[in-house]
Amino acid sequence: MSEIGALRKNEGVRVARLHGAGTLQVHDEMRPEPAPDEALVRVDAVGICGSDLHWFAEGGIGDAQLGRPLVIGHEIGGTVVDDGPLAGRVVAVDPAIPCRNCATCARGLGHLCPTVRFAGHGDFDGGLRDVMAWPARLLHPLPPELTAEDGAMLEPLGVAIHALDLGKVRAGSAVAVVGCGPIGLLVLQLARLGGAGTVVAVDPLRHRVDAARRLGADVTLSPEEALAPDLLAAGRGFEVDTAFDVSGHDHAVEIAIGMARPGGRVVLAGIPDHDRTTFRASTARRKGLTLLLSRRMGDVYPRAIDLAVRGLVDLRSIVSHRYPLDRVSEAFDTAAHRRGNKVLVVPSRDAG
């Protein structure tokens, strides 16, 4: 019996839904029926992102609030299990469905589409389930060298690519990455790959500092060290051409602005708590900084796949934990307390 036949025979599939802040529950639900333009995907891996943690902790993110029990999760790798053209292929799932009709989409900015539907956001279900139906045009087949777990990691890699594009990192330039979670570690690798002469990594957690050093940071600092007054007074503070905030916390934004040299660029890629970012305007103004806000990514999956398959970025060592779907709350607790780096939920199989 084919996998799709087995799914039809066993109509129930497991789904993890967020019912309120801090409350995830696993349910048995009916198998989804794909529309004519969709394929059925067995979900093999879902990464827990910082935005997922906002949904989990706050019951929303920004002005999008929980209106019904929601399936969160948008970093998705899986296997197509229907009989269409992609049958049997391991795929990465692009979580964004832009309208393709508005003026923003016409300008090639589908990631900024005002009516974009995004997996695990608002009232649109995401990936924390056994099986999902998704537009076939947004499923990216992976070469044999990449696994479904790699596919899940391509979404954060895409976010990092987009942030780096905004930062316009030049050969020989100095770069700071403030916040060395999974996306920060990917930005760090891309900056090195893009020719940065010096990469400075800033994070308060020792295991993330160690990961940053292993993945190519020239200098690793604690937040306190990054702007230590005695270093600045002695002229030994680090000034960079481009600083990336990949944390979202106000203190991290202050550090990024403080480390950027006059005329430099600061890319805000982190998502702040409670939909607010504050910083000392006089510092940014007197330096004449260019501040850019990074929103998800554009059409970068082909680039991400190419980088991964050629081994130019290390995706796998960033994954620190794997949990089955019935331990999803434990997975979120691990991610929320920053006990590792990337935490994956693997609905299709047991995991330790």
User: Does 163 lie in the same domain as 131?
Assistant: no
Residue 150 lies in a domain: no
User: Does 129 lie in the same domain as 11?
Assistant: yes
User: Does 231 lie in the same domain as 204?
Assistant: yes
pLDDT value at residue 56: 86
pLDDT value at residue 304: 96
User: Does 101 lie in the same domain as 127?
Assistant: yes
User: Does 264 lie in the same domain as 319?
Assistant: no
Residue 307 lies in a domain: no
Give, for 174, the enclosing helix (H) or strand (E). strand 174-178
pLDDT value at residue 271: 81
The answer, yes or no, to whether residue 7 has pLDDT greater than 50, is no
User: Does 331 lie in the same domain as 254?
Assistant: no
pLDDT value at residue 228: 65
pLDDT value at residue 229: 58
CA 335 vs. chain centroid, Å, equals 13
Average pLDDT over residues 305-319: 96
Four-CA torsion 142, 145, 151, 152, nearest 10 degrees: 170
pLDDT tens profile 341-351: 999 999 966 54
Of 246, 75, 77, 270, which is closest to residue 177 (Cα–Cα)? 246
pLDDT value at residue 9: 46
Contact predicate 180/199, CB 8 Å:
no
User: Does 185 lie in the same domain as 262?
Assistant: yes
Residue 303 lies in a domain: no
- Quote the domain boundaries for residue 33: 3-141+315-345
Of 226, 37, 11, 36, which is closest to residue 131 (Cα–Cα)? 11
pLDDT tens profile 197-255: 999 999 999 999 999 999 999 999 988 888 765 554 444 567 899 999 998 888 899 99
The answer, yes or no, to whether residue 312 has pLDDT greater than 90, is yes
344: Cβ–Cβ under 8 A, 6 or more apart, which residues?
Answer: 45, 46, 47, 48, 149, 152, 319, 321, 322, 323, 331, 351
Q: Tell me which amino acid residue 172 is.
A: G
pLDDT tens profile 242-300: 999 998 888 899 999 999 999 999 999 988 777 788 888 888 999 999 999 988 888 89
Lowest mean pLDDT among 45-59, 64-78, 127-141, 229-243: 229-243
User: Does 165 lie in the same domain as 95?
Assistant: no
Of 344, 310, 342, which is closest to residue 145 (Cα–Cα)? 310
User: Does 205 lie in the same domain as 264?
Assistant: yes
Residue 152 lies in a domain: no
Number of residues in the chain: 352
Average pLDDT over residues 167-171: 94
pTM of the model: 0.90
Q: What is the CATH number of the domain that holds 243?
A: 3.40.50.720
Residue 304 lies in a domain: no
User: Does 86 lie in the same domain as 30?
Assistant: yes
User: Does 163 lie in the same domain as 286?
Assistant: yes
Residue 308 lies in a domain: no
Residue 153 lies in a domain: no
User: Does 330 lie in the same domain as 281?
Assistant: no
79: Cβ–Cβ under 8 A, 6 or more apart, which residues?
Answer: 3, 41, 42, 44, 88, 89, 90, 91, 148, 348
Q: What is the CATH number of the domain that holds 9?
A: 3.90.180.10
- More confident call, 56 vs 47: 47
Residue 263 lies in a domain: yes
Q: Compute the distance between CA of residue 109 and CA of residue 129 in angstroms, rounded to an integer.
A: 29
What's the alpha-carbon Rg for the chain, to the nearest Å?
20
